[in-house]
Amino acid sequence: MTHLGGGMGKMVSSGSRIEVRHLRALVTLVEQGSFTRASNALFVSQPALSRTVAQLERLIDARLVDRSGQQVTVTEAGARLLPYAHRVLTTIREAEHAVRGQRIVLRVGFTWTAAGVYTAEIVREFEETCPGAQVELVRTMTPLAGLDEGDTHVAFLRSEPPDDRVASAFLLSEPRVAALPADHPLSNRRTVSLRDLAAEPLVIGIVGTTEVDLWGHATDGRMITTARNIDEWLEAIAAKRGVGVTPLSTTTFHGHPHVRFRELTDAPPVFLKIVWLNTTHHPLRDAFVKIAIAVTQRARTLPAADE
């Protein structure tokens, strides 16, 4: 494998090609946010790293990072290249593991509660069926749960995949519940409706299953607080920034002493799907998908929300 190093001062010829070191330099620079931190992470000098990134920009014929501020930021062209760079680096790492006879890792992404109470059973059955395989669960708040960045091979999603490159299989549906501050007037009721919540401020996740259009046009102008992850979402509701709507499985895995979950009587269910990119492949992906479908098909009902 080619590593970053010196001797890169010469101009790149027309016959040159993008190398692993170029992609690793870009990914690390964007992750670290500065040439100083990135060069330390890669154990190279800052001038060498700068030349490597400049080489890549000449090969791509586009500016990939903005160097004008204190923090290095990725440009629009750089953002388009990053997912491909991640996937290349990940594929190389996995190939090295395979050649060395190491365990084959399948990274499974999720944004909220994975497959809920069925996650452990799916993972156990898969690893028993495929000796030498290991599942790595990855929570990431991106629209495709890490698939687009190359961080995951397959993912559990409760939102409609926003990309025609994505293939999916239905696993199950689950009801929605309302999440209320503990001393909210509606928390004394066993059930609530969307109409009951229509005038309330709303807390939503940047990648989640609930948007304001769940209420149609009845909530124009309502106050909205956005949370980057489920912990921020719960804390915002507990702090009375608003109410939330979430799949029932949230009540099992993410309780909070100052948040109450109540059954929603008129909200449509959430559909859990397992998704993957048609443009990539993993030798064990199809086996995992098949087992996830089988396990959820055997399931009867999800646990009820706490009263």
Ordered by start, the domain boundaries in the chain are 20-88, 103-166+274-301, 176-268
Q: According to the 3-state scheme, what is the secondary structure of 106-153?
A: EEEEECCCCCHHHHHHHHHHHHHHCCCEEEEEEECCCCCCCCCCCCCC
Q: Give the integer Cα–Cα distance in Å for 179 and 262.
A: 7
Q: Please tell me the predicted confidence (pLDDT) of residue 300.
A: 53
User: Cα torsion for 130, 133, 138, 142, to the nearest 10°?
Assistant: -70
Q: Which fold has domain 20-88?
A: Arc Repressor Mutant, subunit A (1.10.10)
Q: Please give the residue that has the higher pLDDT: either 37 or 149.
A: 37
Q: One fold for both 20-88 and 103-166+274-301?
A: no
Q: What percent of the chain has pLDDT over 70?
A: 86
What DSSP string runs through the chain?
-----S---SPPPTT----HHHHHHHHHHHHHSSHHHHHHHHTS-HHHHHHHHHHHHHHHTS--EE-SSSS-EE-HHHHHHHHHHHHHHHHHHHHHHHHTTPPEEEEEEESSSTTGGGHHHHHHHHHHHSTTEEEEEEE--STTTTTTTTS-SEEEESS----TTEEEEEEEEE-EEEEEETT-GGGGSSEE-HHHHTTS-EEEESSSS--GGGGTTTTTT--EEEESSHHHHHHHHHTTS-BEEEETTHHHH---TTEEEEEESSPPPEEEEEEEETT---TTHHHHHHHHHHHHHH---PPPPP-
> Among 36-50, 216-230, 243-257, whose mean pLDDT is lowest?
216-230
The CATH number for 103-166+274-301, chosen from 3.40.190.10, 3.40.50.1820, 2.160.10.10, 2.60.130.10, is 3.40.190.10
Distance spanning both ends of the chain, measured CA to CA: 57
Task: Give the pLDDT band (50/70/90) at residue 211.
Answer: low
pLDDT digits 0-9 by tens, 82-117: 888 888 887 787 777 667 766 788 999 998 889 999
Q: What is the per-residue pLDDT for 306?
A: 44
Q: Are 104 and 132 spatial neighbours (Cβ–Cβ below 8 Å)?
A: yes
Kindly report which listed range (113-127, 175-189, 267-281) carries the lowest average pLDDT score: 267-281
Position 122 pLDDT exceeds 90: yes
* pLDDT on residue 249: 92
Strand 104-110 and strand 154-157: pairing? parallel
Looking at the whole model, is its pTM more than 0.95?
no
CATH superfamily of 176-268: Periplasmic binding protein-like II (3.40.190.10)
Range name among 5-14, 50-59, 200-209 with the lowest pLDDT average? 5-14
Two structure tokens written together for 135: 């599942």
CA atoms of 149 and 162, how far apart (whole Å)? 15
Distance of CA 306 to the CA centre of its chain: 27
Select the more confidently predicted residue: 56 or 5. Answer: 56
Mean pLDDT along residues 278-289: 89
- Compute and round to an integer the Cα radius of gyration of the chain: 23
Name the amino acid, one letter, at 264. L
